[in-house]
A and B are shown apart, each in its own frame.
Chain A
Amino acid sequence: MSETSVAAPADLAELRAMLSAVAGPINFIGGGTDMLIAGRPMPAVGLLIDLSRIAGMAFICADDGGIRVGGATTVAAIAAHRGIATRLPALAEAAAQCGSVQIRNRATIGGNIANAAPAADLVPVLVAAKARLGCIGRDGASRELAICDYAPDRGFLIAEVILPRDGLLPRSAFVKLGPRLDLSISRLNIALLAEFQDGRFGDVRIAAGALGPRPLRLRIAEAALAGRKLEHATLRDFLAALAADVDAAIPGRNSQAYKRRAISGLGLDLIAQAVGLSPRDQLFEDVVQ
């Protein structure tokens, strides 16, 4: 018999044992908001494991040095968490802008990463924060890897997302551009983490989605901001650098001309959010003149 069977392990220990004991294909389902979209093939054989009710997979711990988020934590829980809103506001913002209330109540952070969509909204924030993933393999053993080294086809379970303390910076922001205001898949999204004191940027990390198969760091734009004062000249260099990053990421793509322009407006909104200014502030108006 080769029909799918299902399992709902009660906790991580049971899940871990199942991973190593079961022969044959195993698939995971979190919130199902990517997997169950009509028209996508459902796994036809093997074991389908429900992650959405496992004790110990949905938690947020933001009170020690870094932040840890369970792999089956919902996007709604992330959007509503006070600790995340203070320590990494960009992640709360990205979560709040995912889909609709209905989607956020089911969608999980692990699913957002494992689905590996180029436009996944949480991933640029995680990349900019140098997130690490606590994974469990088919052998039942734990391993930790950098988010950039995660490949969905290896079948690893994402048990938790780890945001180490030294990856977090005091300021952060997330902006996205979609076809409409609510419930839209990003055409472009950008996350920024930065040090910013006395009007000057220190260390800066920026990552963007929908500019390639997976979210990537915008190194030219990072260099244009790092160590510089927030003023007209810096912002002009920053906008030119963003366009250069787009040119490097998607040379010759149909969307290149649109995205290299669109990223300017998005880039200024990103800075405004990070430093706590209105996007209508004269500083930004002057730069786009």
Chain B
Amino acid sequence: MKVSLEINGQAVETEVSAALRLSRFLRDVLGLTGVKEGCCEGECGACTVLLDGKPINSCLMLTFQAAGREVTTVEGLDGSSGLQDAFLQLGAVQCGYCTPGMLVAAEGLLLDKSSPSEAEIRHALAGNICRCTGFETIVQAVAAHAATREGACR
């Protein structure tokens, strides 16, 4: 069937099969390989994208369900916002597999709450698993970035 949706700010119109998961469409058809598939069960969060600004697991959604909606992958995040830099500076990236999902989930949190507490950051990232870092530096990176973003807004 034919679907039109907006991906990373661009209108996309395409023919998709009924059973095609959004994660596979983004990766295989559009080449947005920042979207990872770690489990396809909603457990790892590596496939996290924003749907109309809210984090969801793209592995648990069919592409046709996204018709008429806005999808943002890690490729569509504003690289100059400093979130990615904070991850690098604080050592929040090791193998990097979880990183795109973490960045998108963190962005989703910051869109909703500009100055989250540490507990709120941990809660918001509970659906994202990292097997390398131990999470500590990831939480620090999001907190550090939130502080500068808040500062810049005032």
Contact = CB atoms under 8 A, between A and B. Distances in A.
Size band of the B side of the interface? 20 to 34
B40 interface: yes
Given A4-B19, A29-B62, A106-B56, A99 B40 contact: no
Interface stretch (B43-51, B82-90, B138-146): B43-51
Given A31-B60, A100-B126, A103-B127, A5 B55 contact: no
Contacts of B59: 36, 38
A32 B62 contact: yes
A204 B5 CA distance: 49
Interface in B33-76: 39-43, 45, 48, 51, 54-57, 59-62, 64-65, 67-68
A101 to B, nearest CB: 5
A86 interface: no
A105 B65 contact: no
Nearest to B21: A36
B56 A36 contact: no
B126 A182 contact: yes
B40 A37 contact: yes
A102 B41 contact: no
Most buried by B among A33, A50, A76, A106: A106
Nearest to B49: A102
Interface residues of A, number: 29
Contacts of A31: 60-61
Contact of A101 (B40, B41, B55): B55
Contact of B60 (A3, A36, A181, A182): A36
Contact of A102 (B19, B65, B68, B105): B105
A33 B65 contact: no
Interface of A: 3-6, 8, 29, 31-33, 36-39, 42, 48, 50, 52-53, 76, 99-103, 105-106, 181-183
Interface of B: 1, 18-19, 21, 39-43, 45, 48, 51, 54-57, 59-62, 64-65, 67-68, 105, 108-109, 123-124, 126-128
